[in-house]
Amino acid sequence: MITIRRVYDPEMPGEHYKVLVDRFWPRGISREKADWHEWLRDISPSNELRKWYNHDPGKWEEFRLMYRKELTGKQEELERLKQLEIKHGTLTLLYSSKEDKYNNAAALREFLM
C-alpha cells in the first residue's frame, strides 16, 4: 500500500516507511528533526516542470502527463520505491506543498499504483 502525507502533518497510524519525494528540503525542518527514512529527490519533477506547474490546478492534467513522461526515465528510483513497498508493506510518500490533492506525490502514487 502506498499513502501520501504532507511532511508538516502529524504521522498517521500504520506508516511503516516514509520517503520524502520533493526536489528541495522542506522549509523549517532541520535535518536532525526529519522523521522520514529516505529522501529520493531525483524522483521529483524536473525544475522546469515544477516551475511551469506552480501548483496551478488548471494545469493538473497536463502536469500529470508530463511528469509520467519524466518518470519513465527514472527506472532505478521507481524500482527502489516498489521494493520499499514490498519490504515494509506500507510506503508513505511525503511532500511539502500546501496543495493536498494536486501535488507531485499524488501524481507519483497514481503512477506507481
Query: Do 99 and 9 touch, CB atoms closer than 8 A?
Result: no
111 in any annotated domain:
no
- pLDDT per position as a tens digit, 7-45: 999 998 888 899 999 999 999 999 988 989 999 999 999
110 in any annotated domain:
no
- pLDDT value at residue 14: 85
Share of the chain above pLDDT 70, in %: 100
Length of the chain measured in residues: 113
Cα–Cα distance between 6 and 12 in angstroms, integer? 11
Query: How many domains is the chain built from?
Result: 1
Q: Decide if pLDDT at 5 tops 90.
A: yes
Query: Do 19 and 84 touch, CB atoms closer than 8 A?
Result: yes
Query: How many Å separate Cα 9 from the centre of its chain?
Result: 14
- pLDDT value at residue 7: 96
> Which residues constitute the domain of residue 98?
2-105
Query: Do 104 and 15 touch, CB atoms closer than 8 A?
Result: no
DSSP-derived letter for residue 37 is S
53 in any annotated domain:
yes
- pLDDT value at residue 19: 98
The phi, psi pair for 89, rounded to 5°, reads: 85, -50
Please tell me the pTM assigned to this model: 0.93
112 in any annotated domain:
no
Residues 69-93: what's their mean pLDDT? 96
